Structure 1
């Protein structure tokens, strides 16, 4: 699954809207030779800046815990805007605009996606990031500074038809992790179906304190601040 090793890899789960899996993982300290034909910069410890200290962790359990108060440090905010069309209900492909805000400063980060579920990945904009390049199924970030943001656009295959007019999107796991610690993270998912005749059937988790579900005739918004690992499911039904 995807991970933020001082790089951050984010990959959809099978077929579904698992747009991010943020796991802060350590790199093994080792000297590497850039002239070596097997050299991989993602494994070169000398390229990375400081990682998050495990002493700052909030919990060591993957069990989801919704937060009702903002942590002292502004958490990584992962925002997704998903636009459905009639063809989305037929072939599963949607339009995605995704932004990552307040990324921890780091020398290099890679955002990686499931290559079988994504196409036309492009960097739309950056703030306080020296360089951002989309290459196939990943976005390579270099020189990530304080108050940074990167936004990308793509097409993703995330809709599954369950039959009887019901469509499902499963998301996750969303997680920001370092060693055995889990850190606060905010995730926002806005699903817009415009004039398609759809309505929300249900969500997992259900709406509760710390996990907000906002409904309208044209879409829904999920917004949550949490620690641990978050998996969500959204089911939509034809309103006819």
Structure 2
């Protein structure tokens, strides 16, 4: 029996393993932000997303993604939605016996403590809004096993072109969910349990409308 751990963006990636040894501190999926980290190390999901001028035309963005502190289990997999992912490439693994891609799925075997995996790909995550502008949709991020959802850390950095101006981000900043704007980048970081969706909205910048 597989159980889901986390997603990359727009409901398109699931991290699963076959561990059945978890029964404590599990939530039922309702989102809960954690003002402070849990006592023991938890899965860290790191995403770097680049929106290019071409992304404004076709919706495809560049994704560099890493998973740290992967739970030590015999087998696991990351499964993307095939219509929203392309050009998946594994670029780094640590403390993982074997890792390979099969279509829109990354399979892992012999996962040891402090395992790490990094990949790059293109994902279709940028969507035009009816009222104008664009929305970058990410999630659900989650760490889920057979008996519920567990704490995890998500770090998300988005770089966008000068043609775009940031409107807002959702959820709003609060204890356990941090939003930082720096130049042409926005960074989000959160400790949470349950399912986390993020939405970041932009508007186009035209001459005379900085």
> Do Structure 1 and Structure 2 share a fold, with TM-score over 0.5?
yes
| 1:202 has 2:168 as partner | yes
Are the equivalent residues in 2 in contact too, given 1:129–1:143 (CA < 8 A)? Answer: yes
Hey, what does 2:179 align to over in structure 1?
Answer: 213
Are the equivalent residues in 2 in contact too, given 1:76–1:185 (CA < 8 A)? Answer: yes
1:164 Cα deviation from its structure 2 partner: 5.2
CA distance in 1: counterparts of 2:94 and 2:74, whole angstroms: 15
| 1:81 has 2:78 as partner | no
1:8 Cα deviation from its structure 2 partner: 5.5
SS where residue 106 of structure 1 aligns? coil
Alignment of 1:147-166 (within 5 A): 147-163=114-130, 165-166=132-133
Structure 2 stretches of 5 or more lacking a match? none
1:232 Cα deviation from its structure 2 partner: 1.6
With over 3 angstroms needed to count, the CA separation of the structure-2 counterparts of 1:23 and 1:62, relative to structure 1, is farther
Quick check: which one's strand share is greater?
2
Number of equivalences: 206
SS where residue 86 of structure 1 aligns? coil
With over 3 angstroms needed to count, the CA separation of the structure-2 counterparts of 1:171 and 1:9, relative to structure 1, is closer
With over 3 angstroms needed to count, the CA separation of the structure-2 counterparts of 1:7 and 1:101, relative to structure 1, is same
SS where residue 89 of structure 1 aligns? helix
Are the equivalent residues in 2 in contact too, given 1:124–1:152 (CA < 8 A)? Answer: yes
Match of 2:11 among 3, 18, 30: 18
Structure number with bigger Rg: 1
With over 3 angstroms needed to count, the CA separation of the structure-2 counterparts of 1:196 and 1:144, relative to structure 1, is same
| 1:53 has 2:22 as partner | yes
CA distance in 1: counterparts of 2:196 and 2:108, whole angstroms: 25
SS where residue 116 of structure 1 aligns? helix
Structure 1 stretches of 5 or more lacking a match? 25-47
List 4+ stretches of structure 1 deviating above 6 A: none
CA distance in 1: counterparts of 2:176 and 2:12, whole angstroms: 20
CA distance in 2: counterparts of 1:130 and 1:22, whole angstroms: 17
CA distance in 1: counterparts of 2:100 and 2:108, whole angstroms: 7
CA distance in 1: counterparts of 2:16 and 2:92, whole angstroms: 24
Higher relative contact order, chain-length normalized (CA < 8 Å, sep 6+) = 2
SS where residue 129 of structure 2 aligns? strand
Q: Could you list the per-position Cα deviations for residues 82-139 of structure 1 after superposition, in whole angstroms to 9, with x for gaps in the alignment?
A: 1111000111011111111101001111101010111110101101111111221011
Hey, what does 1:5 align to over in structure 2?
Answer: 2
